[in-house]
Amino acid sequence: MKLNLVLRELHRAETALARNLRRAAERHRVEHEVHHVALDLAEWSARHVRDLAATARSRGLGLDAHSADRPGLLAPLRTTISELAVHRPEPGLLLLRDLRALHRTTAGLSVDWELLAQAAQAARELDLLALAQRCHPDTLRQLKWTNAMLKVLSPQILIG
Amino acid sequence: MPSRDGIAEPWGTRTPYGPGERWPTRVDTRLADGVTADDVDEWVPTASVLHSNGDGLHLAVKDGRVVGVRGRADDRVNHGRLDPKDLFAWQANRSADRLTTPLVRDGGRLVEASWDEAMGRVVERSRALLGDRGPGSIGFYTSGQLFAEEYYTLAAVAHGAIGTNHVDGNTRLCTATAAAALKESFGCDGQPGSYTDVDHADVIALFGHNVAETQTVLWSRMLDRLAGPNPPLLVCVDPRTTAVARAATVHLAPLPGTNVALMNGLLHEVVAHDRVDHDFVERSTVGFADLAEQVRQWPPERAAAICGVPAEEIRHAARVLGGARRLLSTVLQGFYQSNQATAAAVQVNNLHLLRGMIGKPGAGVLQMNGQPTAENTRECGADGDLVGFRNWNNDAHVADLTELWNLDANAIPHFSPPTHLMQMLRYAENGSLRMLWVSATNPAVSLPELARVRSILGQDRLFLVVQDIFRTETAELADVVLPAAAWGEKTGTFTNADRTVHLSRRAVDPPGQARADLDIFLDYARRMDFRDRDGARFPPWHDPESAFAAWQRASAGRPCDYSGLDYDMLAERSGVQWPCNAEHPDGTERLYADGKFFAAPDYCENYGRDLVTGAPMEATEYRAMNPDGKAMLKAADYVPPHERPGEEFPLSLITGRTVYHFHTRTKTGRTPQLRDAAPEVWVEVSAPDAEAHGVTEGDLVEVSTPRGSVRAHARVSAIRPGVLFLPFHYGYWDTEAPPDGDREHHRAANELTMTDWDPVSKQPLFKTAAAALTRIAAGDRPAAAPTTGAATPLDPTVPATTGGPAATVQETHAAEQTAGGAR
């Protein structure tokens, strides 16, 4: 069965999303709502990673439960660069690029959860189905958030 | 006639009453020394403007000057009573330092100018920006203290004529979460309850609401119930030991930022013990299963560990709430300005929906306001909403407004929600917003992280227009200053926190060249030569009464329906609650009495937002979730605050009000009785924290956060250990040498607050900061803090706050009144 492959991919993608959310938060320190909410949402992905690792362990698959727990080494540098450019309009385009990338990553992740849920139902793997039902709604909320921030922020950035 | 010291006794003499009885009348009067009621030429109707309670009163006028105030016995809100600020602050209107002429910036200095010169500059810059950068380069930041006619005019000018999405009010700081929570639960703004619910309730629960200091007359009503037969039980949630907490049956003092955890713990008990009105929930709500699942995960022990409140106290409070037969809940800044503001306020709505306690006498929710006219900012569309609670995300609502204004189909921007203040400020910071017009508010003291705010408002590239009655800290940064008429010097209507509309008539002339805010906005529209699609002048109205008539048409058919009101009726009857229309000619005491809500997908103001991420829901999602327009139970998980105490900054800092001041003290600091009652900033410290830092009552201390530091004298009080409190009223206009650089700013509480806001309501979180306390020097006297409210000292030898002979207030009790004087 290839379900373990799906679990590995989900683990990789959730770890990456947590990292990318934190990086976006640091890079856009002066965009306060993006900064704070992105950090909160990174915690959701870190929780998913722990949940994935626990479920995987019971299936004999080793996944690092803490791969998404810590911010990266360059965090202070990214924050400082953001603060130095606080009066400049140019980081706005970078913000749109980052939100767009987050949106695409999250969309892919959402599909992966969908795949896991479908396969888990077909295989009657109820622990995997429960895992998907716990985590996937969060992914959809993360997805709506990136979309909403793009909608709200883009007009001023692209016209202003 | 009995009298009292209006400073020493903010709540006046008790007039006890029992459940279901009429609250007795007590008329408070304060006239200038040497003036008696017989000397007064005219009593001009209005209502209070230095809080949100909406107490009906008359201004006493003699020889063209205001000489005092008297509460209206026939007013439904106050039955004659007045707040200390109402009793004395009218004196500030005639301060010698009122703005009396426009000012313009020349060579780095503000110099006097004519209206033509000042408005000419505003118009010139507006035209240049519209030509070069478009309407998104212009923003408006207004108030919670103007009149409905003025907000409606500003909304028409900004959203309609200019076509900018950037319009907000300082209601963002005070009441945005009330509006957001009502929209989330009921699909639309609009206060469900009524102050008369105090007369019937058997349990009153105050969530982060220090009513004793924010709405003193409402607290008097509660005190009179407490003093009468069969008094209500009181539940208080507040980290400070307020006057409310001292009177409470149960006082929960959670750590700042943990309200959602606490509410989930309370709701856990309500559901676990099945104190749920299942018929009501089934008939009138959606979302029960999700909420029940969320709160199932919150046994009181889990909530207790996060909130720092004993689990048994949570259980006790839940028993009181769950056992209530007529439950009245009120909510204010302890929830609205804290972490997860809207999510927490929504849980209070959930409590009432679960218990089926809404729309009935004594069973209601009051999501309170902080300011006198905040409700109008919201309903008139001057605060990040569209006119008449229209839905920015519903094309039919926007088209309806376009039609009403007779503008081109695409005139009103609605590609996203109207821009909230904190985002506008960010746009000014990055240079994409180049003109900001500030009316009747003082962001240079009232916004969080003041060093940042000053750096934004002080930019050369930002054209800052400030319209005010005094030369505020913000006016000092302006390019053009416009002198406005104050309350009592202009006519208009305004609406309090329980939907009561009052008329406020012009009693005296404004000083010098000062003009009514309405006239200033209309003058701008004429000079800009705004036109509707048929070439007629826009807005078409020209004075308060024609503006009111236009607003009535805009409100007709919406929840905030004013179509049945007029100026004469309001002058005659004093306060009337909206909706007031052909169906409800006398107004409406309680919304949702029939279990029907303003939540139908085609009618609602808003499709709601994710309570954690703030992402707006779309129409299709809303239709699927709530096709029949029921009330919505919405669950929220707890998310920790974004700044928490740690090694370097071990304490939690919160900010707030005192009973004697309003906002940045522009009026109350110019009122001798109020100024002297609370003359200087202080910091409240608990006894254990004081001891740990070697601090005693009156010592000079420094409070610091990662953003700055404030020096203040310590008031050792019964505040929750681990928490510091600073009043936010004190800025720099009355310091001896106004500071030059940021390093000299050590008085305003907002030097310390962080830039963070609730993702749902966009209300700044003034009650999230990690702080350190350092003793600087011994004090030679107690802190100059009031002894009457939450700042009550632990040291019993501290002299009580009094006002002396200058603060004498006459009280007329019901028995002494002539027949027909009270209804």
Looking only at Cα atoms, what is the longest distance across chain B? 73
DSSP B159: I
Partners of residue B686 on adjacent β-strands: B717
Residue A99 is encoded by which pair of tokens?
Answer: 């939100």
Residues of chain B found within 8 Å of residue A151, distances taken between Cβ atoms: 415-416
Residue matched to tokens 């000489």: B67
Inter-chain contact B613–A32, Cβ cutoff 8 Å? no
Partners of residue B468 on adjacent β-strands: B483
Q: A30, A79, A99, A144: best mutation site toward chain B, by most B Cβ within 10 Å?
A: A144
Residue matched to tokens 């106004």: B738
Q: How far is CA B580 from the centre of its chain?
A: 23
DSSP A32: H
Q: What is the pLDDT of residue B296?
A: 98
| Contact present, B626 and B607 (Cβ < 8 Å) | no
Alpha-carbon span B61 to B46, nearest angstrom: 13
Chain segment B387-396, per-residue pLDDT in tens? 999 999 999 9
Q: Residue A40 — very low, low, confident or very high, per pLDDT cuts 50/70/90?
A: very high
CA nearest A41 in B: which residue?
Answer: B613
Residue A119 has pLDDT above 70, yes or no: yes
Alpha-carbon span B616 to B414, nearest angstrom: 13
Averaged pLDDT for residues B724-728: 98
Alpha-carbon span B78 to B613, nearest angstrom: 40
Q: β-strand B651-656 against B770-777: which pairing, if any?
A: antiparallel
| Contact present, A12 and A112 (Cβ < 8 Å) | no
Between B816 and B436, whose confidence is greater?
Answer: B436
Residues of chain A found within 8 Å of residue B755, distances taken between Cβ atoms: 32
CA nearest A36 in B: which residue?
Answer: B642
Q: Residue A87 — very low, low, confident or very high, per pLDDT cuts 50/70/90?
A: confident
B417 in A contact zone (CB under 8 Å): yes
Averaged pLDDT for residues B267-279: 98
| Contact present, B684 and B725 (Cβ < 8 Å) | yes
Residues of chain B found within 8 Å of residue A156, distances taken between Cβ atoms: 136, 419, 427, 432-433
Q: Residue B741 — very low, low, confident or very high, per pLDDT cuts 50/70/90?
A: low
Q: What is the pLDDT of residue B821?
A: 38
B433 in A contact zone (CB under 8 Å): yes
Question: ∠ CA(B28), CA(B33), CA(B35), 5° rounding?
Answer: 75
Nearest CA to B243 out of B800, B792, B687, B802 is that of B792
Averaged pLDDT for residues B708-718: 98
Q: What is the pLDDT of residue B371?
A: 94
Type of residue at B542: H
Task: With H, G, I as helix, E, B as strand and everything else as coil, classify residue B41.
Answer: coil
Q: What percent of chain B has pLDDT over 90?
A: 96
DSSP B799: P
Chain segment B609-648, per-residue pLDDT in tens? 999 999 999 999 999 999 999 999 999 999 999 999 999 9
Residues of chain B found within 8 Å of residue A86, distances taken between Cβ atoms: 429-430
List chain A domain ranges: 3-159
Mean of the per-residue pLDDT values for chain B?
96
Q: Residue B540 — very low, low, confident or very high, per pLDDT cuts 50/70/90?
A: very high
DSSP B161: I
Nearest CA to B690 out of B718, B708, B716 is that of B716
Inter-chain contact B614–A33, Cβ cutoff 8 Å? yes
Chain segment B661-697, per-residue pLDDT in tens? 999 999 999 999 999 999 999 999 999 999 999 999 9
Q: What percent of chain B has pLDDT over 70?
A: 98
Please tell me the distance in Å from A153's CA to the nearest CA on chain B: 9
Nearest CA to B160 out of B436, B398, B417 is that of B398
Alpha-carbon span B186 to B592, nearest angstrom: 9
Side-chain half-sphere CA neighbours of A137 within 13 A: 7
Which phi and psi (to 5°) does residue B366 adopt?
-120, 100
Please tell me whether the peptide bond between B448 and the residue prior to it is cis, using omega within 30 degrees of 0. Answer: no
- The domains located in chain B, with CATH, are 3-94+811-816 (2.20.25.90), 103-174+378-490+509-557 (3.40.50.740), 177-368+598-632 (3.40.228.10), 651-792 (2.40.40.20)
Averaged pLDDT for residues B528-534: 98
Alpha-carbon span B181 to B329, nearest angstrom: 14
Nearest-by-Cβ selection for A141 from B429, B433, B613: B613
Q: What is the pLDDT of residue A72?
A: 65
Partners of residue B385 on adjacent β-strands: none
DSSP B618: P
Residue B1 has pLDDT above 80, yes or no: no
Residue B574 has pLDDT above 80, yes or no: yes
Nearest CA to B528 out of B122, B139, B160, B118 is that of B122
Residue B486 has pLDDT above 70, yes or no: yes
Rounded to whole angstroms, what are the CA distances from B417 to A97, B159, B168, B170? 22, 12, 11, 17
B615 in A contact zone (CB under 8 Å): yes
Give residue ranges of A with CB < 8 Å to any B CB.
30-33, 36-37, 39-41, 86-89, 91-92, 141-142, 144-145, 147-149, 151-152, 155-157, 159-160
Q: How many CB atoms lie within 10 A of CB A127?
A: 12
Averaged pLDDT for residues B584-611: 97
Q: How far is CA B797 from the centre of its chain?
A: 35
DSSP B389: G
Total length of chain A? 160
| Contact present, B14 and B224 (Cβ < 8 Å) | yes
DSSP B458: T
Is the C-alpha dihedral spanning B119, B121, B125, B127 positive or negative?
positive
Residue B288 has pLDDT above 90, yes or no: yes
Residue A43 has pLDDT above 60, yes or no: yes
Q: Residue B822 — very low, low, confident or very high, per pLDDT cuts 50/70/90?
A: very low
Q: What is the pLDDT of residue B89?
A: 98
B451 in A contact zone (CB under 8 Å): no
CA nearest B434 in A: which residue?
Answer: A160
Please tell me the distance in Å from A62's CA to the nearest CA on chain B: 29
Residue B270 has pLDDT above 70, yes or no: yes
Alpha-carbon span B640 to B260, nearest angstrom: 10
Alpha-carbon span A18 to A38, nearest angstrom: 9
Partners of residue B68 on adjacent β-strands: B31, B60
Q: What is the pLDDT of residue B463?
A: 98
- B107 class by beta-carbon count within 10 Å (0-12 exposed, 13-18 middle, 19+ buried): exposed
Inter-chain contact B615–A144, Cβ cutoff 8 Å? yes
Question: ∠ CA(B389), CA(B578), CA(B467), 5° rounding?
Answer: 60
Q: What is the pLDDT of residue A91?
A: 87
Residue B344 has pLDDT above 50, yes or no: yes
Backbone conformation region of residue B449, classed left if phi is above 0, alpha if psi is from -120 to 50, else beta: left
Inter-chain contact A88–B430, Cβ cutoff 8 Å? yes
Residues A3-159, CATH architecture? Up-down Bundle (1.20)
Please tell me whether the peptide bond between B24 and the residue prior to it is cis, using omega within 30 degrees of 0. Answer: no
DSSP string, B712-771: EEEEEESPPTTEEEEES---STTSSS---SGGG--S-GGGT----B-TTT--B-TT--EE
| Contact present, B713 and B680 (Cβ < 8 Å) | yes
Please tell me the distance in Å from A73's CA to the nearest CA on chain B: 20
Residue B823 has pLDDT above 80, yes or no: no
Nearest-by-Cβ selection for B610 from A32, A89, A141: A141
Residue B820 has pLDDT above 60, yes or no: no
Q: What is the pLDDT of residue A1?
A: 66
Rounded to whole angstroms, what are the CA distances from B762 to A4, A139, B391, B418, B729? 42, 23, 17, 11, 22
Residue matched to tokens 């309350």: B487
Residue A80 has pLDDT above 90, yes or no: no
Type of residue at B38: D
Residue B819 has pLDDT above 50, yes or no: no
**Helices B259-272 and B341-355: angle between axes, nearest 10 degrees:** 20
Residue B483 has pLDDT above 50, yes or no: yes
Q: What is the pLDDT of residue A27?
A: 94
Start-to-end C-alpha separation, chain B? 20
Alpha-carbon span B264 to B58, nearest angstrom: 45
Is the C-alpha dihedral spanning B274, B275, B280, B286 positive or negative?
negative
